[in-house]
Homo-oligomer: A and B are copies of this chain.
Amino acid sequence: MDEVNSLSWEAFIQRFGNVIEHGPIVAGAIWTQRPFSDARELHRAVCGFLDTLPSTGKESILRCHPDLAGALARADRLTTESKKEQRGAGLLNLTKEEAAIITELNISYKSKFQFPFVICARENKKEAIIAGLKARINNTVDVELQHGIGEVKKIAWYRILDLVPTASDQMIAKY
């Protein structure tokens, strides 16, 4: 971690700025907590900062995520990280029927919650994601905001593992 801990804030934000999708403010905020002893401590700092945000900020963190298998994916305008994750879950290679189901569920979900459905694609294949959408759409807004932020934290964990040299050797792979 010495190399990570020695980064200027510019370099740190450059490296970790998309650990939270479109969230360089999170990387910039935790920079002062260096030195981090390992990837897990860095991740704890990310989670801790998310927890300090007001509800409007948490909702916005979700709104800065793309729809799964949505318009940005079809236009090939996802962030590098998101594209890799969605591809891994099989979301960039859907049957016409699956695509239609997800589109319709996304619309209903967004209409109810005013933020998009977020799930850690590294821990779910497309079948589990569709099942998750169908189940979570019945939650209350408060529960779903918490649930969504929980998924954001999982996504962040895997992204950190990709960015911190040797971290994956030291850690359990699963969140």
Contacts and interface: CB of A to CB of B under 8 A. Distances in A.
Q: Interface SS of chain A: helix, strand, loop or mixed? A: helix
Interface stretch (A24-32, A82-90, A93-101, A153-161): A24-32
A32 B58 CA distance: 13
B63 A52 contact: no
B53 A49 contact: no
B52 A29 contact: no
Nearest to A28: B60
A25 B28 contact: no
A17 to B, nearest CB: 8
B56 A29 contact: yes
A61 interface: yes
A49 B57 CA distance: 8
